Amino acid sequence: MRNSEFPAFLYVLEDPREPGNIRYIGATQDLCRRLGDYWSDYRRGDHRRPISAWFAGLADGGIKPRMRMLWQGSASEMYEAEVKAIESYQRLGFSLLNATGGGPGGVTAPGRNTFSNWQKKNRAWNLGVPMSEVQYRQLQDARKEWYKTHSAHNKGVPMSAEQKEKLRISKLGKPWTEARRQAHNSRKEKSCAG
């Protein structure tokens, strides 16, 4: 979810085989995460969008696209800046792979299929049809049988004070020391860079 209090970025993806050949302009609040999204699409085999297909073509050849920050500002200005940048680069003759003209449309832009559209088309055929008494009993019996073999071995056994304390401590997690924070940031920077 977009938060207008945080910084936002416009970025470009360039083809490293042709320096300066900008293929995509996007907006995000987390550059590292956005680059990771492209890698996730690639690993899942999701190549429906032009940018995903281009990214996959590079990745299959062992080539990583170059991500470069184009603009930094507030999230409230992000989409307007993205629309202007896409228009400007298209006027300059760049063959961008953007499926839309930018803005908040993203994956829910007009003409694109959304998850809610999929849900509407694929609703259960018996939605709203009440179960008969026989069906209800069969479902109830099946659940009882399933729980006989799938319930926890210690179900209903109260936890000791020692177990409760161990559980409480495990939920707290590790404290963030300065050394741990630096190591985390270092790993994050390395993963974004390559």
The answer to the question of residue 25 being in a domain is yes
Query: Which residues are bridge partners to 7 per DSSP?
Result: 74
The CA dihedral of 135, 141, 142, 146, to the nearest 10 degrees, is 160
Q: How many residues does the chain have?
A: 194
Q: How many Å separate Cα 5 from the centre of its chain?
A: 21
The answer to the question of residue 85 being in a domain is yes
The answer to the question of residue 90 being in a domain is yes
pLDDT in tens, 139-181: 899 888 887 777 677 777 888 999 999 988 888 877 788 888 8
pTM of the model as a whole: 0.54
Confidence (pLDDT) at 165: 92
Q: List the CATH number of the domain containing 23.
A: 3.40.1440.10
The answer to the question of residue 47 being in a domain is yes
Domain total in the chain: 1
The answer to the question of residue 44 being in a domain is yes
The answer to the question of residue 78 being in a domain is yes
114-133: b or e for each residue (b if 16 or more CB lie within 10 Å)? eeeeeeeeeeeeeeeeeeee
Confidence (pLDDT) at 123: 61
> Percentage of the chain with pLDDT > 90?
19
The answer to the question of residue 56 being in a domain is yes
- Record the tokens describing residue 4, joined without a space: 């207008």
The answer to the question of residue 186 being in a domain is no
Give CA separation, 39 vs 24, 60, 105, 186, in Å: 15, 11, 21, 20
Confidence (pLDDT) at 109: 44
Confidence of residue 126 (pLDDT cuts 50, 70, 90): low
Confidence (pLDDT) at 1: 44
By residue range, what is the domain housing residue 33?
7-112
